[in-house]
Amino acid sequence: MAGCSSTKYVPEGAYLLDELNVQSDNKDVKPADLNLFIRQQPNTKWFNLIKTQLYIYNMSGRDTTQWINRVLRRVGDAPVIFDSFETERSRQELEKAVRNLGYMGAIVDANTKLDGNKKIKLTYDVKTGRAYKVRSIQYDIPDTTIWNYMRQDSAATLLKEGMNMDINVLDNERSRITSLLQQNGYYHFNKEYITYSADTTRNTFLVDLTMHLEPYRLNADSVQVNHPQYYLNQVHFHADYNALENTNGDVLPEDTMLYKGYPVYYRGKPFIRPRVLVGNQHLQKGELYNGNDVQRTYQNFNRLPVMRYTNIRFEELERNDSLFVDAYIQLTKNKLRSISFEVEGTNSAGDLGAAAAVSLSNRNLFRGSETLTFRLRGAYEAVSGLQGDYRNESYTELSAEASINFPRILFPFLSHSFVNRIRANTLFELRYDYQLRPEFTRIIASTGWSYQWSFKQQRLRHRIDLLDVNYLYMPWIHPDFYDKYINQEDNYIVKYNYEDRLIVRSGYSFIYNNRGTSMAANVFNGTSYTLRANIEAAGNWLYALAKLTHMRKNKEGEYAILNIPFAQYIKADFDFAKNIAIDNRNSIAYHMAFGIAVPYGNAKMIPFEKRYFAGGANSVRGWSVRNLGPGSFSGDGNFMNQTGDLKIEGSIEYRSNLFWKLAGAAFVDVGNVWTLRKYDSQPGGQFRFDKFYKQIAVAYGIGFRIDLGFFILRFDGGMKAINPAFSSGRERYPIIHPRFSRDFAFHFAVGYPF
């Protein structure tokens, strides 16, 4: 205990910065917003509770030649020694920040409190005083053209009479006006040309604010003039640009073609069709220079798989007293073909297996950045615990997939302006999956046609599955398996899902993220939320066709196409997730999910692949995958019977960045699934309003995550807290009577659960 003392390595006469607080006497000035300006922070705490890394550092010995001591010091954090100089600098920065919010008379005091054990507690006491308010706003804009642009956009101004004299708002208004002018031809304009002057009347706390526009000056010796507007003269395309070979950007290849008035420079043969180049740029000859069009052009070319880098260079020229810019779009192509290999290990309830896959891609199939991908996959897994006369105890899967992705929307009757405003992809897929198990052989053949698109900031992304066809074919079933599971009248779920089935579906889904493309992988970067929704329907067109053609039903009362019954259902899903940043190391994340699938018409059951399950790494983590529900049903060893038509789930996590690439989490999960109909093989599984709230499972646990940048490894351990399989007694409340062997579930996954 003494060796792990937090002050073990604090020198004599120095103090450990043990605790830091910011206190404000104004509720509008939040301490959490001021932490950014503090230059010296105490040693970090895991989950804001324990200074684990400091204790790890203090476990090291003083002999740094020993490897164990070096490791402990590298993993841990050295004690943060109180520095009066940094404290004063932080106090000044805080005072400046608060004054910038409009509290010109703000005072910040740094108060320290000593602990007898070489520790110090530091408190920054913020006294804001009275805020200065903007009484009037005047504009000194001698350039009438710029003034007209500002006046036409006045509804978007950030400056309001009565607002605090907030320097940050004033600066944001400068940036907003700069962006506005750069969209209207002002190629050289920047926010330094906009300044303010403020007049105050003694003891009134009122400010008369004036915005000034500084005139344009090419250099220090030139005369002052109005800011020039530039027009686009010509857009050039430099295809197959190599920055290493072209150190001088003015050097262009000798091969040239003219497509719809656009010069295209290339070497040998153009690797991409000129039509694709012109269709992805937004710079129009004769129009005013627009910075937004430049960014949209960058984004369009950067999303093309065939492009590695994109650069746009401008050259100025003058003609007939007008100013122009020539644009040179320099494009560096990516590798056109690639091959990748994947190897994975599997563990299905103790049955070990392995899988391997190879993918071949062509990123420029028709010289329009279309991506053609072929993928072959093989898997093998040992199968144990089978009872019956089975020849082998292994599972083999072979699959093939082909897809082609067009980086544009392929659909008739769409206007040219709409196509240019969206970033769209059209995807065609074809899949074949062959599964050989000891109990049966199953073949799944499918094809799909879908669209994905988003608009400017990509906060909202859409997907339409125009047509998705799945054919499930069971060519062989072992007699023992058939007699035991399928040929049972009381197990309709298993029987339904082991028959040949045709699923023809269409659907729409969207994902909205409030941070759009700025959303970073690091969850501690700020507060964000994501909304996902999906709706799909299957079998409606086939059902209408069956009705129109007076098709006969089979013995199960289903319409069948070529003796293959088809599924008919409607399904809707909703998921909301939010991450709330506490500071740069800690956050609270939560999510709520709801889903419902309703069979009707030609079906009394939802296909297994479309049903819901509970438990697992992304669900209620006190249960293993597909091991919870439906309702109060405790399971019978058949995972198909632990699925449902309705899902309600929610989770909350406290996430903390620990050290290096390791993060931790403490979580609570709730939820379950239910069936909409009553099935004999799922007693207690039907949803009922007077009972469902008693059947909601609760779990808690902790987890660790390793953030490797391009993906995250997650290790979660969950414990059951409330078990809906029991109506009362010790088993219903494991949180009071826990048993590790019964109530614990371990999960390994990639990525965050939500």
pLDDT over threshold 60, residue 672: yes
Identify whether residues 179 and 299 lie together within a single domain: no
Identify whether residues 712 and 753 lie together within a single domain: yes
How far is residue 412 from each of residues 313, 320, 384, 403, measured CA to CA in Å?
Answer: 35, 43, 53, 21
Residue 678 in domain: yes
Task: Give the E-state strand segments of 539-634 in sequence order.
Answer: 560-561, 564-565, 569-581, 586-599
* Distance separating alpha carbons of residues 190 and 186, to the nearest angstrom: 9
Identify whether residues 164 and 292 lie together within a single domain: no
- The tokens 């292994």 sit on which residue? 394
Where does a domain end: 314, 333, 352?
A: 333
* Distance separating alpha carbons of residues 592 and 651, to the nearest angstrom: 7
pLDDT over threshold 60, residue 175: yes
Identify whether residues 652 and 729 lie together within a single domain: yes
Which of the residue ranges 71-80, 137-146, 163-172, 324-333 would you say has the lowest mean pLDDT? 71-80
Strand order in the sheet with 119-127: 16-24, 119-127, 107-115
* Distance separating alpha carbons of residues 597 and 534, to the nearest angstrom: 11
Q: How many CA atoms lie within 13 A of 378 on its CB side?
A: 1
Q: How many CA atoms lie within 13 A of 56 on its CB side?
A: 19
What are 181-224's pLDDT values in tens digits? 999 999 999 999 999 999 988 778 999 999 999 999 877 777 88
Identify whether residues 635 and 749 lie together within a single domain: yes
Q: Average pLDDT over the chain, rounded to whole?
A: 89
Q: What is the pLDDT of residue 349?
A: 58
CATH number reported for the structural domain that contains residue 114 in this entry: 3.10.20.310
What are 226-241's pLDDT values in tens digits? 999 999 999 999 988 8
What is the share, in percent, of the chain residues with pLDDT greater than 90? 64
Mean pLDDT of 1-15: 74
Counted domains in the chain: 4
Residue 376 in domain: no
What are 520-533's pLDDT values in tens digits? 333 334 688 999 99
- What amino acid occupies position 109? D
Is the omega angle on the peptide bond into residue 274 within 30 degrees of 0, that is, cis? no
Mean pLDDT of 725-746: 91
* Distance separating alpha carbons of residues 601 and 502, to the nearest angstrom: 14
Q: What is the pLDDT of residue 228?
A: 94
Residue 255 in domain: yes
Quick check: helix, strand or coil at residue 221?
A: coil
pTM above 0.95, yes or no: no
pLDDT over threshold 80, residue 153: yes
Q: What is the pLDDT of residue 66?
A: 86
Identify whether residues 268 and 182 lie together within a single domain: no
Identify whether residues 109 and 177 lie together within a single domain: no
Which residues are within 8 A (CB) of 124 and not within 5 positions of it... i.e. 6 or more apart?
20, 21, 22, 23, 34, 38, 90, 91, 94, 108, 109, 110, 111
Residue 557 in domain: no
What are 648-659's pLDDT values in tens digits? 999 999 999 887
pLDDT over threshold 90, residue 161: yes
Q: What is the pLDDT of residue 521?
A: 37
- What amino acid occupies position 352? L
Mean pLDDT of 311-317: 94
- CB count, 10 Å around CB of 418? 11
Strands 501-513 and 528-538, sheet pairing: antiparallel
Higher confidence at residue 569 or residue 46?
Answer: 569
Mean pLDDT of 411-423: 80
Mean pLDDT of 695-717: 91
Angle at which helix 144-152 crosses helix 167-182, to 10 degrees, equals 110
What are 531-553's pLDDT values in tens digits? 999 999 999 999 999 999 999 99
* Segments forming the whole domain that contains residue 121: 16-43+79-127
pLDDT class of 385 with cuts at 50, 70, 90: low
What is the share, in percent, of the chain residues with pLDDT greater than 70? 95
Where does a domain end: 101, 127, 153?
A: 127
How far is residue 542 from each of residues 454, 537, 565, 601, measured CA to CA in Å?
Answer: 31, 12, 10, 11
How many residues does the structure list for the chain?
Answer: 754
Q: What is the pLDDT of residue 518?
A: 45
Identify whether residues 640 and 732 lie together within a single domain: yes
pLDDT class of 247 with cuts at 50, 70, 90: low
Q: What is the pLDDT of residue 522?
A: 37
Residue 103 in domain: yes
* Distance separating alpha carbons of residues 626 and 643, to the nearest angstrom: 7
Strands 194-200 and 206-213, sheet pairing: antiparallel
Q: What is the pLDDT of residue 520?
A: 37
Where does a domain end: 213, 241, 271?
A: 213
Mean pLDDT of 262-271: 89
Which residues are within 8 A (CB) of 273 and not within 5 positions of it... i.e. 6 or more apart?
366, 367, 368
* Distance separating alpha carbons of residues 259 and 137, to the nearest angstrom: 51
Q: What is the pLDDT of residue 246?
A: 65
pLDDT class of 4 with cuts at 50, 70, 90: low
Residue 244 in domain: yes
Radius of gyration of the chain measured on its C-alpha atoms: 33
Quick check: helix, strand or coil at residue 675?
A: strand
What are 39-77's pLDDT values in tens digits? 999 988 887 788 888 888 888 888 888 888 888 888 888
Identify whether residues 189 and 324 lie together within a single domain: no
**Six-digit token pair at 599?**
């069979």
Residue 528 in domain: no
pLDDT over threshold 90, residue 376: yes
Higher confidence at residue 245 or residue 505?
Answer: 505
pLDDT class of 519 with cuts at 50, 70, 90: very low
pLDDT over threshold 70, residue 604: yes
pLDDT over threshold 50, residue 2: no
Identify whether residues 746 and 618 lie together within a single domain: yes
Quick check: helix, strand or coil at residue 554?
A: coil
Identify whether residues 625 and 723 lie together within a single domain: yes
Identify whether residues 622 and 743 lie together within a single domain: yes
How far is residue 257 from each of residues 58, 224, 395, 547, measured CA to CA in Å?
Answer: 70, 42, 58, 58
Q: What is the pLDDT of residue 327?
A: 96
Residue 163 in domain: yes
